[in-house]
Amino acid sequence: MNRREFFNQMASVWDKRFYSPELIGRLDEIVASFRLSRGNCVLDIGCGTGVLTPSLLIAVGQLGVIHAVDFAGEMVKRARKKFENNQNVHFILGSVETLPFDDGSFDHVICFGAFPHFDSKKKALKEMHPVLKTGGNLFIAHALSSAQIKAHHKASSPVANDVLPEELEMREMMTTTGFWGVSIIDKDRCYICKGKNRQNRKNRGALVMDFTEKARIRLENWITHNDHHQEEYELFAEQLEEAGKNESSEHVREMIELTVNSTECLRNAFKALE
Ligand SMILES: C[S@@+](CC[C@H](N)C(=O)[O-])C[C@H]1O[C@@H](n2cnc3c(N)ncnc32)[C@H](O)[C@@H]1O
């Protein structure tokens, strides 16, 4: 059985099997973290039965529009039925590998719970990037961490090997596709990889970058990386203190200072490129 057949077969039981009231309750929170604005036009790729749709509709308000794409006909059929009276959402049968939209069509693109299942992740990113407006974000999100997703998929053979790329590979893929300011949160019951379309390309040809542009991307990535580590170190230091391990915590706090200094150096290096 291939993936599409698998998802078609799962469509009738999807909501009941995978969405507990607790998880549904968390969807608004996940969508709120995307900071969508009222009136936004948003693309939801791999939308399934439209589980995220109610939260997206709330976030974009009456003037906003959601376009939702999925390659499994049964999923799309169910989603259309659920929202047949809503003019603000359009469900489209299609693949992420050939998106039927003009460049710069969307304020933001969301890919919730679907990215690990894409055959060619690089191709998917290359399709998602140009349909974003300049300044628009792509959010690859899950209600699980990458490790939890791996364990969750293991149970179903057609998707058993569908995993998220390791952090560095993901950053590299995003950056080389043209996304800027890539950040990744990967923690218990939450994965969000975000990247910005800084400047839309007029055509979909190869991105030509000069050395300075590449240096900026590299420095931006390292700064984001450092910020992320700093947050983790701070949390860990607090945990050590709570456990009464103050001496150990002091060493972690020394590391936090070093990280703050190294971020400062990276920021200076970034500024000096201008
Ligand atoms: C795990 S489900 C998630 C569905 C929904 N976003 C949710 O969270 O309930 C992954 C979805 O991605 C869709 N999908 C997988 N590969 C796709 C592709 N190449 N293009 C479009 N949709 C795809 C599947 O049909 C499936 O509905």
Residue 126 CA, ligand 1 centroid: distance in Å: 17
> Is 191 near ligand 1, meaning CB less than 6 Å away?
no
Residue 208: pLDDT over 60: no
Q: Are residues 197 and 132 in contact, defined by beta-carbon separation less than 8 angstroms? A: yes
Best CATH choice for the domain 3-206 from the list 3.40.50.720, 3.40.50.150, 2.60.40.10, 3.40.30.10: 3.40.50.150
Which atom belonging to ligand 1 lies closest to the Cα atom of 18? 9
Q: Which of 117, 142, 159, 191 to mutate to test the pocket of ligand 1 (most atoms within 8 A of CB)?
A: 117
Residue 184: C-alpha distances to residues 77, 116, 162, 222 (Å): 33, 15, 19, 12
Tell me the pLDDT of the chain averaged across its residues: 91
Mean pLDDT of all residues in 107-123 = 96
What letter represents residue 28's amino acid?
A: D
Angstrom distance (rounded) from CA 27 to CA 22: 9
Lowest mean pLDDT, pick from 16-30, 149-163, 233-247: 149-163
- Backbone angles phi and psi of 195, in degrees to 5: -150, 150
Q: Whose CA is nearest to atom 14 of ligand 1?
A: 46
Residue 98 CA, ligand 1 centroid: distance in Å: 14
> Is 46 near ligand 1, meaning CB less than 6 Å away?
yes
What angle do the packed helices 21-32 and 53-60 form, to 10 degrees?
30
Which atom belonging to ligand 1 lies closest to the Cα atom of 8? 25
Residue 203: pLDDT over 50: no
> Is 91 near ligand 1, meaning CB less than 6 Å away?
no
Q: What would the pLDDT profile of 143-202 be if each residue is shown by its tens digit?
A: 999 999 998 887 777 888 899 999 999 999 999 999 999 999 999 999 999 999 986 544
Q: What would the pLDDT profile of 30-70 be if each residue is shown by its tens digit?
A: 999 999 999 999 999 999 999 999 999 999 999 999 999 99
Which atom belonging to ligand 1 lies closest to the Cα atom of 119? 19
Which atom belonging to ligand 1 lies closest to the Cα atom of 44? 6
Total-model pTM:
0.76
> Is 7 near ligand 1, meaning CB less than 6 Å away?
yes
Angstrom distance (rounded) from CA 269 to CA 17: 50
DSSP string, 76-118: HHHHHHHTTT-TTEEEEE--GGG----TT-EEEEEEES-GGG-
> Is 112 near ligand 1, meaning CB less than 6 Å away?
yes
